[in-house]
Amino acid sequence: MTDRSQPADATPDATPDAARQDRAADSTAAAAAAADAAAIDAAAHPAVAVPPGAADPAEMRAHYRAEGLAEADLAPGPMEQFGRWFEEAAHVAEQGGLYEPNAMVVSTVDAEGRPSSRTVLLKQYDERGFVFYTNYTSRKAHDLAANPRIGLLFPWHPMARQVVVTGTATRTGRDETAAYFRTRPHGSQLGAWASEQSSVVASRAELDRAYEDLATRYPEGEAVPVPPHWGGFRIAPRTVEFWQGRENRLHDRLRYTRTPAGAWRVERFYP
């Protein structure tokens, strides 16, 4: 019989100290969230007009009939399993059934525990984890400097699949960043310089002007230096869940969790 009093993600590898710190962080975050909610309640809520005949999300039901995912079919490690699913997603994308299979939603929390999510592009994966590139002055980078814990989600809806990752982010080395930067199109290299990502810009014209100035300074064919404020994050996974949609909402969820000894434990979760 499953002990339902345990949170689903309670893991025996959490040390008592780590668990205590997590609880302390949770209560601080809960207090901050309560303050946020009170502020929202205090504000006036204007009525939102929904046009007659508008699409109703409650009425939208896709029926998943996909093949299941069995423990026996899994690769020994999550990155190898990810590689298998990523290949299949890339194949579906080639057939036009999926757009940008390397797009993933990245979630971070700031120093006060406020979460935020955004889409980025996966640029590399291997046994060490998942890599994306961004601006180190961005909101997500500030969040990760304060708290390197991170969530990733690959939403492969047309395949009735998602991959959900939790882990820890570290910056890629400058050589690795430079090697990737040089593979980017010239315009994207200039764009990395032109954008002070996540800060307020006075107008679209200001952004375009910054780009034009850079394009004059570094015309096509001229080497663009790697911006010091730009680079990669590598996410070393702690858990990787493979979710396969099935009929009647009886989906398959198989999750790898890294054990303290560095091996991988696989568990099945209720959908």
To ligand FMN, the closest distance from the beta carbon of 131 in angstroms equals 10
Please state the closest distance from residue 121 (CB atom) to ligand FMN, in A: 4
Looking at the Cβ atoms of 29 and 103, the one nearer to ligand FMN is: 103
Per CB under 6 A, which region of 56-64, 71-79, 132-140, 203-211 contacts ligand FMN?
132-140
Q: What residues pair up with 156 in beta bridges, in sequence order?
A: 161
Label residue 155 exposed, middle or buried (CB < 10 Å: 0-12, 13-18, 19+). middle
Please count the CA atoms within 13 angstroms of the CA of 211 that sit on its side-chain side: 13
CB 198, min distance to ligand FMN, A: 3
* Pick 100 or 206: Cβ nearer ligand FMN: 100
Q: Which residues are catalytic?
A: 249
State yes or no: residue 119 binds ligand FMN (CB under 6 A). Answer: yes
* 69 phi and psi angles, rounded to 5 deg: -120, 115
Which lies closer to ligand FMN via its Cβ, residue 77 or residue 155? 155
144 neighbors 234 (Cβ within 8 angstroms): no
Virtual CA dihedral for 218, 222, 223, 225, nearest 10 degrees?
Answer: -10
d(CA 173, CA 176): 5
Determine whether the annotation assigns residue 119 to a binding site.
yes
211 is in an annotated binding site: no
Q: Based on the shown chain and the rule CB under 6 A, indicate whether residue 111 belongs to the binding site for ligand FMN.
A: no
Residue 40 CB partners (closer than 8 Å, separation 6+) = none
The residue behind tokens 């780590």 is 18
Piece of the chain touching ligand FMN by CB under 6 A; list 28-36, 113-121, 206-214, 233-241: 113-121
Q: With H, G, I as helix, E, B as strand and everything else as coil, classify residue 86.
A: helix
- Sole binder of ligand FMN in the list 140, 161, 234, 255 (CB under 6 A): 140
Q: Does 164 bind ligand FMN (CB under 6 A)?
A: no
Q: Is 184 annotated as a binding residue?
A: yes
SS3 115: strand
Is residue 132 involved in binding ligand FMN (CB under 6 A)? Answer: yes
Give the residues lining the site for ligand FMN (CB under 6 A).
100, 103, 116, 118-121, 132-135, 138-140, 197-198
